[in-house]
Amino acid sequence: MTTRQFCDRLMLLAVLALASTLLHAQTYTVLHNFNETEGCCSNYPGMMAQGRDGNIYGATTGGGTHLYGNIFKMTPSGTLTSIYSFDPTNGAYPQGGISLGQDGNFYGTTYQGGAHSRGTIFKVTPAGVHTVLYSFSDTGDGAYPKTPPVQAQDGNLYGTTGNGSQYVLYQVTTSGTFTIAATILSQSYSPLLLGIDGNLYGTTLANGTYNGGTVFQFSPSLKTVKTIFNFHNEWSPTGPLMQGVDGALYGTTSSGGTGDGGVVFRLTTAGVYKILHTFSTTGATDGRFAYSGVVQGSDKFLYGVASVDGPGGFGTLFKVSTTGTGFAVVHSFAVATGDTPLTAFLAHTNGKLYGQTSHGGTHTPYGVVYSLDAGLSPFVNPVVLHSAKVGGTVEILGQGFTTATGVSFGTGTSTFTAVSSTYMTAKPVAGALTGQITVQEPSGNLLTPLKFKIVPSITSFTPTSGTVGTQVVITGMSLMGATAVKFGAIAATVFTVDSNTQATATVPNGAVTGKIQIVTPGGVATSATNFTVN
């Protein structure tokens, strides 16, 4: 073999390897074809949730025994089972899908039905035991909810609804105690997102400065709503927000932009906005009308769907980088294998993406459930919580847990219990730090995409009083990395972090009697008692 032939052979092998990688990275598989009995898939956002058992749970807007909607369970390989059928008494037509709670149960809403025929909030167990938590009455509490509530750090569930002139953000306990937490500007079709800062983020379809909708931040502790962005030239953000590994929020609008087909956007929690992709005019190959937001893969690309147009005319599955480059159509939807995708992706911890179409498939017009194998790495995910104190219980979803040899928080360790191969609990111990959770497994370590915060605490300080210039020794937990020590509202100009359990600070000029606070990457620790400034 000549040198030229050898080089040609290497080049051919490289091309074949690249082609194989690209083919693998774009494997679209129909897992289940919905039929008349099961009903059609959810409308947007149509959230699906991964259960503790590793199965996928979701809802259909119609079908079921009574034709008012259905809750289903599906294995990652596509075996689907109906576990609950709705009726007008217990709620009808669940449009937004479901979310997973810390208790292992699923929570959602029905658009109609219930005691007042204006929708319900419900809980359903993995075995299909259904409970109505609340029935909307349209007497100041809202009506016709479209999205599932989500659980926050305080253990309560939060969601949005409204009808006509009043739109509300509500709080409901897992046992069904309902209160109005705040009012919002207009209807919201996107479930709230629990951010790593403990706040909830959501969108409104309209109103705001330019009447194009908004992105807002809600504080569960303060019960306050703050608008952080007003849409203008693009509008109607129907899909859910997603927080990327960089801490920014990502989402889509279903309208506006230069082609009036919507956009993919990036928004920091401080309100800095950037358009990553603008969908083109009618008939364009990139698709139009992205109703369902995006998710982020291990390759850091954003994945989403546009509901119409594209090469086949029935919608596209696309990816785009977080800087807006590298936009590509990964799959072009067709009637035979499912078309007109409206629902959000579920990023399963096995690395695959799962979604639904609202039409097409073997039993047209009922749609399909599909998976995308984009060659993404498997990972682990905490259930609901993004932070905990040392000793707190953290629930983790993933795979291969029965052979796990350790769990670390940042560079610190934890105790853990593998309940099953797909679900474990872990308790960070002293020395745990804010950072990614790592589950150590013989086949390769699995990490959380986002950092998990280890919340600091203050147990005591000495002396308990003193003048300006006094050195105060503060004892606590998880104090490493502290960026500030405050006496009341006044920051100390001189402080040192002696260890993970101790810091020393000098009482600053202007300090007055009040609590001591230490700010770390994991949060803020506040003393139980005041330091007295003499």
Q: What is the pLDDT of residues 433-477, one digit of tens each?
A: 999 999 999 999 999 999 999 999 999 999 999 999 999 999 999
> Tens digits of per-residue pLDDT, 2-21?
444 433 443 333 333 333 44
Q: Is the pLDDT confidence value at 320 over 60? A: yes
Kindly report the pTM of this predicted structure: 0.93
CA dist., res. 151 & res. 164, Å (int): 26
Cα 294 from chain centroid (whole Å)? 10
pLDDT, mean of residues 483-502: 97
CB neighbourhood size of 310 (10 A): 26
Close Cβ partners of 148 (under 8 Å, ≥ 6 residues apart): 47, 96, 97, 98, 99, 107, 108, 109, 159, 191
pLDDT, mean of residues 177-194: 96
DSSP state of 205: S
Q: Is the pLDDT confidence value at 222 over 80? A: yes
Q: Is the pLDDT confidence value at 28 over 80? A: yes
Q: In the prediction, which pLDDT does 41 show?
A: 72
Helix (H) or strand (E) holding 27: strand 27-33
DSSP state of 346: E
